[in-house]
Amino acid sequence: MLAAAVVVTGLLMPTALAEHVEPTRVSGNPSCADVGKGGLSELRIEPVADGTYSDGTLEVTLSNVNDTFDWQANQPVEVVIVKGGPDSNVYDYGSGATSDTGHGAPERANGTRPGVSHVSFCYREQKPTTTTTTTPPTTTTTTTTTTTTTTTSPTTTTPPPTGRCTGWAYDLRLDLADIIGGFVGGPVTHTQKDVFPDQETQSDLAVIFPLTGATEPIVTATTLDTENSGNPADGCVTRVTYEDLRVDLNNLTPDQGIPVVLTAKVLETVTSATLQPDDMVEITSKVVIIGGSLDINGQGGAEDGEVPPNTGFTNEPECFGNPDGPGQLCVTVMLHETAIIPNGIAANGVRIKVSLTTALPPVSSQLVDLKLAHAEADAHPS
């Protein structure tokens, strides 16, 4: 009986300790059945947040969840699969470990990590070995192994469906009216819907619209970052951030020779906790003029290459050029209307409309309707 007691004790109190291993990058979305080890059960966690998760056998606690996370389990885990972006990281612990730190999805080429969309813990169900003695003495050993796959939510921290973060983050939407029939371009990059946290970063952004005959980019930026962050208890944030964003309308329709360049830094932060139905999103913007002059919101003119002071927004077009000549170019920089959704917000950040008005006859032709930093967030209170 002593030997049997030792076996049971060993099963109830696993001795596998924390063992950090380097992950293997695997394309796509593998499961525990794909890691080359038979007889594994799978505990899949989605969405990934701080909390304790269980399928009735394995219990895993996640902590410090951000781009990476730490974990601790009540029994040995042989493989952990972390999915984020197009690929997965597979952490193989051999016979098993009960904790580790710093798990995350595979890094992008620029060294940043996408958010974790889900994580799978692969383990073997362990049953105690029992010895039964009868007359005459016989010994019966029974071992049962069951393979199951369970997707679970935190037992303590996951709010009901109406209390979860949901959202998108887009970087660019472009409507080319009267040129190619209202073509919509973008988003160039976006976060995964309903995944918090999630972050997508693109470097050296350049967008060319060849259907207009353009050969140079209309939109450039050194960095474009879209991010979902936060939680229902503290507030959900969907954010789009640009560095060195430049919108060059000269490169939209070269044959029109539009002499204006607009530069903007848009949509720093959107949070449902601070926005009311009548609020506007706070955005900073500046306009740089090339080959002409333009008065922005009565703040004074700017000559070639200068930046007008205190640039704001207007729903009225600002025009330059000779209205009695071949045409007048009008530029409208505005905050797009803010649409409130239940317990959250959806908003277009900056909208730039460019139209060319001809003198004979006086016909206004809208050339471009450019929306920057289209973001949506739906933050339900917990």
Q: d(Cα 36, Cα 373) in Å, to the nearest integer?
A: 44
Q: How far apart are the C-alpha atoms of 57 and 50, rounded to whole Å? A: 19
For residues 345-370, give the mean pLDDT.
Answer: 49
Residue 81: per-residue pLDDT? 96
* pTM of this prediction exceeds 0.95: no
Model confidence at 51: pLDDT above 80? yes
Q: Is the model's pLDDT at 341 over the cut of 60?
A: no
pLDDT tens, residue by residue, 89-109: 999 999 899 999 999 999 877
User: Do residues 51 and 156 lie in contact, with contact meaning Cβ atoms separated by under 8 Å?
Assistant: yes
> Mean pLDDT score of the chain, rounded to an integer?
60
Please return the burial class of 245, using the count of CB atoms within 10 Å of its CB with bins 0-12, 13-18 and 19+: buried
Q: Average of pLDDT values for 33-54?
A: 88
Tens digits of per-residue pLDDT, 294-330?
333 333 333 333 333 333 344 455 554 444 444 444 5
pLDDT at residue 296 in the model: 33
Asked whether the predicted pLDDT for residue 145 surpasses 90, the reply is: no
Query: Percent of the chain beyond pLDDT 70?
Result: 36
Read off the pLDDT of residues 368-379 as tens digits, 9 standing for 90 and up.
555 555 555 544
pLDDT for the residue 245? 57
Confidence of residue 59 (pLDDT cuts 50, 70, 90): very high
Under the banding of pLDDT at 50, 70 and 90, the label for residue 28 is: confident
Per DSSP, which regions of 38-86 are E strands?
41-45, 51-54, 59-63, 68-84
Secondary structure of 101-154 in the HEC alphabet? EEEECCCCCCCCCCCCCEEEEEECCCCCCCCCCCCCCCCCCCCCCCCCEEEECC
Of 45 and 345, more confident = 45
Residue 1 pLDDT greater than 70, yes or no: no
